[in-house]
Structure 1
Amino acid sequence: MEQGALSELKQKAALLPSKPGVYIMKNAQGKVIYVGKAKDIRKRVKSYFTSRDSRVQIGGLLSSLSSIDTIVTENEEQAFVLESDLIKKFKPKYNIRLKDDKAFLCVRIDLNAEWPRLELVRRTENDGAEYYGPYVYSGELYTLMELIKSVVPLRTCSDSVLYNRHRPCLEYEIKRCCAPCCRKVEREEYLRWIKTAQKLLEGKTSEVLRDLKSQMELASSEMRYEQAAVLRDRIDFLKNFTAGREIVTHGGESRDAIAVYREGSLAAATVLQVRNGRIQKAQNFALENVVGYDWEVVESIVAQYYGRVTSLPEEALLPCECENAEIILSRIKERFPDASFSLLSPKRGIKRRLVNIAKLNAEQHFKESFEADSLVSQLGALMKERFSLSQAPRRVECVDISNLQGSDTVASVVVFQDGAPEKKSYRRYRLEGQVGQPDDFESIREVMRQRVKEGGGDLPDLFVIDGGKGQLGAAMEILEKAKVEIDIIALAKEKRFFCNSKAKGVIKPERVYIPSSSHPLELKKGDIVYNFLVQLRDEAHRFAISYHRRRRSKRVFASLLDTVPGIGEVRKRRLIKAFGSVKEMRKASPTDLAKAGRMPLSIAERLSETLLGSK
């Protein structure tokens, strides 16, 4: 940000209201980059522009900042709710979001079903069923499910199998299912087993052990020795399962310990789950672009984490005092009105020890998460230095053209974010104006024209054009006309030139053309920049060529069908839908063709002759 613009924002900050509410920071494109709450909006926003705030991440936020909007609320609680809603809506770059690679597994139990079962799902729904989880480690969950199957003989089959079986399956024979499909068990007893499974999912293993021991003693006193032996084996299995878990409290409490490890704008958070006095699991999160104070980071984690869990422990142990603890607690209790839950910040004793264990986990997760990020940073720094870029690129797009002698010309734009493909952002284009006139330069111009037009705030840090100096010039021409300032380079493939029939030839290695030099820069095989650019270009080529082949196949297919009398648009669509390609249609008999196209056999025979004659 220029000094003049910064001074202007400082002046505006002095005019903001001294009331509770939310402030919304935007970049030059009007995109929301940060949402914050405050007791006093003016005081909080002015703090960003003081030299006393030495947090390194603030510099990145201010460099992108262009305008600040505010929404005044009646009190802090309203501001807290509004901030949460706005973060969910805009997903600002500099706000903390607990991001996971995928939706974690939960256990679903529909107690309204006649014979409930334990189902593994990735999404919870408001459907009246009970949900347990989410479980970070799928291996741990499968172990727990195996334990439940060994302790209580519940069904695992689907409803369609359950209501269509007439004799028990193998699971019943090995005593791992009670065969409700054949009514081998009363529903009341089955529901008692479901409650046992629920207790195991909640970590209440001691209660289950007591119940099983009582059942075993009763069966033994009534001389039902076979059943007593089965119960004994279940007790042993449950004891072995719980024996390996470290005891951290002796009162059998259930609590979460939360900790954060932070270096600058990067952080890792851990929620250590203790159930029934034993550590069950550690759920870890990697956080980027962290701009708040430590207590703000902890508040954000607590609010988001307990906004999506399906059950609560007795308490959550925090590493520091939080200003808005009461507000957060009231929001959590809105979701769980009957729960007894508290937020504590222990200073000593076993509870502080749990927070310290959580911090050790957070520090380890930080190292594991950001080792890969350090490679991305190294790649970005090397590319910036070698190719004279204005910044280290994180989001890179590669443009590739594909055609066959000017026909069916298409283009692909693939996206790599932080060194990895982001396939949901891939684009492809049909270049209608290039029929019969193969012109790579004009094709590049057309693709860049469309991409810039679509762009807005979604343009990359760097464009990579598949080609040489001419293709680079064509792309730059469009960027200059659109007055878009984005780094751009071109990547030329390795080539071998033969001087005569006996010579091995001269190899031109992979080369990069940059706007500031008329001579290409040769890439060294095997280094990090070479590997990245070649992977990027090859992915763009793969995506373009697959699209080109699909379009060409459809065109050839359709044109062949047009030559056969009696096949109109409707029959053509039926045949294309049924066979998909000329190759597959050639394999079909006239009878199959007639059936798929719903046409007379005589027309199908003519079509078959045409197809076989076009080989």
Structure 2
Amino acid sequence: MIKNNKASLSKGIEIIKNELLTIPNKSGIYQMIGENSEYLYIGKAKNLNNRIKFYTQPKRLNSRLSYMVSNTVKLEIIVTSSEIEALLLESNLIKKFEPIFNILLKDDKSFSSILFNLSHSFPQLSAHRGQRNIKGDYFGPFVSKNTVQKTIETLQKIFLLRTCNDNIFKSRTRPCLQFQIKRCSAPCVNLISKESYRDSLNEAKKFLQGNSKSIKQNLIKKMYDASNKQNFEAAAIFRNRIKALTDVNASQNINVPNVNDVDFLVLRKIENKVVIQMTIVRSGCNYGSKSYFPSPGKNGTDVLEEEIMQAFICQFYDKNIPPENILVNLNPKDKSLIEELLHKKHKIKVKIQLPQRGKKLEIIKSTLKNAEENLNRKIYERSSNKNNLKNLQQTFNFKNSIQKLEVYDNSHNQGKSPVGAMIAFNEDGFLKSLYRRYNISTEHKNSSKQISDEFINNNDYLMMKEVIKRRFAGKNSSGFPDLIIIDGGKGHLNIVLNVLKDLQISSIEVLAISKGIKRDAGRENFYTKNSDSFRFNKDDPTLFFLQKLRDEVHRYAIAGHRIKSKKNIFKNPLDEINGIGANRKKSLLEEFGSAKAVGTASISDLLKVEGINKSIAQKIFNFFN
């Protein structure tokens, strides 16, 4: 519970003063910790003693810092050899512990790039995310995953590059359909030389480097040549490639003079609401724009804009590779220190600059307008989400306000490839970083056939029971939702209530959504522990809100089920047996020919196989029988 009064502030200051007696005048990080070992704040300092002494002067503390000190029960430090090491450690620990008074970048996923994998004789284009440890040429990052996929498909179509993976490439004996429709040059069966294929690959690279004009002119010439020879089919193919090239080029074109690679970062803050608008430009091409809404922390109205910019740059470029130039509308705190940090981490000499004139300043101003529009839209959405959560609490007479909720659903096909799914929601909207899928196994240790049959017949209940147990058993209550919503009826509700009771969790409300007559939207029945059934009017906004939540978890669950089903198509039953690795699996298949034949083998037959001892043979026999 957050405290803020004179007594608790004095107590917090006293705790910090006692710690100061042993804190050195060295660089490092300090961690303010509250009750139940909750991390309140993590900061870095060039001189730990001087920095921490600041928190013992109540007249210099704003309301946010007063809150923080009032709730501090312990102070810990880590000494580092330099201030830059302190900054790096601070960034890592903030990401790990997510202290409530720190500025947090909640969406820290790395962007995708386009990879030309040069380890193959006929390189393939692919989307790549994460560390660039594969030998090849990388282009990006792209903000949108869809843009990456569309660009790859366009390049494959224009330059006739292969689309198949390495396994399919090796096994082909004749060209595939892509060759027949003039979208691949069939390197798999050597219908193009390595040199010619590399030339096509280099043309694709030129396009991504912004040199599309000569490529387009070459295609136009080929189109007219084919047309003059009355080869209209070939002319139409070149026309379509030109159109595809133009479409992708139009979405990426931006003219930034004298700048090769640059990220534009613009920050706008209204009270405690913040947006950082980012536009990525590489080789003069616009690779996309994205809005970030970092949390300025508890009581974040007092947080300075330069501190937010500093936190964003440190956290964002922890996973993403920075360009040589980062252009901003305001300089971050400790600008030169951040530049040094990025250089140390990524081996790139980065300059953070404030444009004063020209095209760069125009782009900053334009990006700022977009940032303001997006922030106003976000503020409206937050207000709407708050009202929806409040109406939900009032409609069902829940005891406490709903700050955060989680929605659960199961997806399977007659018990096959079962997946449980959970989504989370609060006033910020859908919290996609908290989404989780739970792979449910129909095989349980020491289970009998009767239990297996029970699973198939009542899988929805047992799946829900397992998912809720896995979500809440042994977890810290600080991350718990105020409300659980489940897609199911009264039976599902009772399952969840019983699991929570067994786990001694009484703070979470539960709401079940049951499909209505003929599964019509608007005729759903709702159940809580205190009511048998409830139905909304068809035009009730709270009903629309609940349907939106249910549809989202349903979408997420089905997507997980499809992924699992696809994997299971290529799954070998031998992979599920504990103790069967690649070598034993290979020996078994060489001896018996298939997993099905292994399943019919006796223990004595299995013992004849190299690497199979009595214990393993018994496991294999028990698995299939």
Q: TM-score, normalized by length of structure 1?
A: 0.62
Aligned to 1:205: 210
* SS of residue in 2 equivalent to 1:167: coil
Confirm whether residue 324 of structure 1 aligns to residue 334 of structure 2. Answer: yes
Structure 2: gaps of 5 or more residues: 409-419, 445-467, 515-524, 554-575, 578-595, 603-625
Contact 1:209 1:238 in 2 (8 A): no
Corresponding letter in the other structure for 2:12:
L
Distance 1:288 1:59, change over 3 A: farther
Q: In 1, Cα distance between the equivalents of 2:42 and 2:164?
A: 47
Q: 1:184 to 1:121 in 2, by over 3 A?
A: same
Answer yes or no: is the 8 Å Cα contact 1:395–1:462 preserved in 2.
yes
- Is this contact kept in 1: 2:127–2:149, CA < 8 A? no
1:12 is aligned to 2:15: yes
Question: Are the structure 2 counterparts of residues 334 and 26 from structure 1 closer, same or farther at C-alpha, using a change threshold of 3 Å?
Answer: same
String of CA shifts for 1:554-577, please: whole Å, max 9, x gaps: xxxxxxxxxxxxxxxxxxx99xxx
Aligned residue in 1 for 2:591: none
Distance 1:328 1:183, change over 3 A: same
Deviation at 1:258, TM superposition (A): 0.3
What CA deviation, in whole Å up to 9, does each residue of 1:512-540 have, x standing for no partner? 869xxxxx999976766688789999999
Asked if the contact 2:84–2:340 (Cα under 8 Å) also holds between the matched residues in 1, the reply is no
Structure 1 residue 257: Cα displacement: 0.8
CA distance in 1, matches of 2:390, 2:376: 20
Residues 414 and 29 of structure 1, relative CA distance in 2, 3 Å threshold: farther
Rate the CA distance shift 1:363–1:538 in 2: closer, same or farther, 3 A.
closer
Alignment-mate amino acid for residue 169 of structure 2: L
How far is the alpha carbon of 1:270 from its aligned partner? Answer: 1.7
In structure 1, what is the Cα distance between the partners aligned to 2:122 and 2:146?
A: 26
Distance 1:276 1:450 in 2: 48
Alignment partner, residue 155 of structure 2 = 148
Does residue 457 of structure 2 align to residue 454 of structure 1? no
Please name the residue that 1:301 is paired with: 312
Q: Which amino acid aligns with 1:8?
A: K
Mapped partners of 2:127, 2:527: distance in 1: 49
Q: 1:185 aligns with which of 187, 192, 203?
A: 192
Q: What displacement does 1:235 show?
A: 6.6
Whether 2:113 is the aligned partner of 1:106: answer: yes
Work out the CA distance in 1 between the residues paired with 2:382 and 2:338.
32
Rounded to whole Å, the distance in 2 between the matches of 1:177 and 1:271 is: 36
CA distance in 1, matches of 2:256, 2:31: 44
> SS of 1:287's equivalent?
coil
Distance change >3 Å, CA 63–CA 537, structure 1 → 2: farther
TM-superposed CA distance for 1:181, in Å, is: 1.5
Aligned to 1:70: 77
- Cα distance in 1, alignment partners of residues 314 and 550 from structure 2: 42
Q: Distance in 1 between matches of 2:148 and 2:469?
A: 51
Distance 2:281 2:550 in 1: 48
Q: Give the one of 378, 382, 390 matched to 2:387.
A: 378
Q: Which residue of 1 aligns with 2:370?
A: 361
* Paired letter, 1:320: L
1:579 is matched with none
Paired AA for residue 311 in structure 2 = S
Q: Displacement of 1:179 after TM fit?
A: 1.8
Amino acid at match of 1:205: G
> In 2, Cα distance between the equivalents of 1:459 and 1:209?
53
After superposition, the Cα gap between the structure-2 partners of 1:149 and 1:328, relative to the gap in structure 1 and judged at 3 Å, is same
Alignment partners' CA distance in 1, 2:290 and 2:551: 37
Instruction: Kindly indicate whether the alpha-carbon contact (under 8 Å) linking 1:20 and 1:39 is maintained by their aligned counterparts in 2.
Output: yes
1:182 Cα shift? 2.1
Tell me the SS of whatever aligns to 1:284.
Answer: strand
What's 2:344 paired with? 334
Equivalent runs, 1:150-549 vs 2, <5 Å: 150-201=157-208, 204-206=209-211, 208-210=212-214, 238=245, 241-243=248-250, 247-251=254-258, 253-290=260-297, 291=300, 292-310=303-321, 312-337=322-347, 339=348, 341-381=350-390, 392-396=401-405, 417-418=425-426, 424=436, 454-458=474-478, 460=480, 462=482, 487=507
What secondary structure does 2:134 align onto?
coil
The letter for the 2-side match of 1:318 is V
After TM superposition, give the deviation of residue 79 of structure 1 in Å.
1.0
Deviation at 1:302, TM superposition (A): 1.9
* 2-structure distance, mates of 1:413, 1:189: 48
1:231/1:253 CA distance change after superposition, 3 Å: farther
Contact 1:24 1:68 in 2 (8 A): yes
Q: Could you tell me how far apart the structure 2 residues matched to 1:148 and 1:539 are?
A: 33
1:334-377: CA deviation from partner (whole Å, max 9, x where unpaired)? 3543x554211223433222222222333333344454433343
> How far off is 1:81 after superposition?
1.4
- Residue 85 of structure 1, CA deviation: 2.2
- 2 CA distance for matches of 1:294 and 1:63? 24
Q: Tell whether the 8 Å contact from 1:213 to 1:235 is kept in structure 2 after alignment.
A: no
Instruction: Give secondary structure in 2 for the equivalent of 1:29.
Output: helix
Q: Are residue 89 (structure 1) and residue 96 (structure 2) matched?
A: yes
Alignment CA distance shift 1:170-1:389 (3 Å): closer
Q: What displacement does 1:413 show?
A: 13
Contact 1:109-1:119 at 8 Å conserved across structures: yes
Alpha-carbon distance change, 190 to 363 in structure 1, aligned in 2, over 3 angstroms: same
Contact 1:124/1:131 (8 A) holds in 2: no
Q: Deviations over 1:156-185 (max 9, x none)?
A: 122233223333334334443222112122
Distance 1:509 1:78 in 2: 54
Which residue type is aligned with residue 14 of structure 2?
Q
Judging changes above 3 Å, is the alpha-carbon distance between structure 1 residues 264 and 20 closer, same or farther for their aligned structure 2 residues? farther
User: Could you say what secondary structure the match of 2:9 adopts?
Assistant: helix
- Deviation digits for residues 171-215 of structure 1, max 9, x if unmatched? 3344432221121222133223323323333xx222x53477689
- For the pair shown, the structure with the greater C-alpha radius of gyration is 1
Deviation, 1:65, is 4.4
Q: Is the 8 A contact 1:261 1:359 kept in 2?
A: yes
Secondary structure of 1:205's aligned partner: coil
Q: Which AA in structure 2 matches 1:363?
A: E
1:122-174 alpha-carbon deviations (Å, 9 max, x no partner): 55462334443343323433442244234422111222332233333343344
Q: Name the CA distance, whole Å, in 2 between partners of 1:181 and 1:236.
A: 27
**Alpha carbons of structure 1 residues 389 and 266: separation in structure 2 relative to 1, 3 Å:** farther
Provide the rounded CA distance (Å) in 2 between the counterparts of 1:493 and 1:167: 53
What is the alpha-carbon distance in structure 2 between the residues aligned to residue 509 and residue 151 of structure 1? 54
How many residue pairs were aligned? Answer: 485
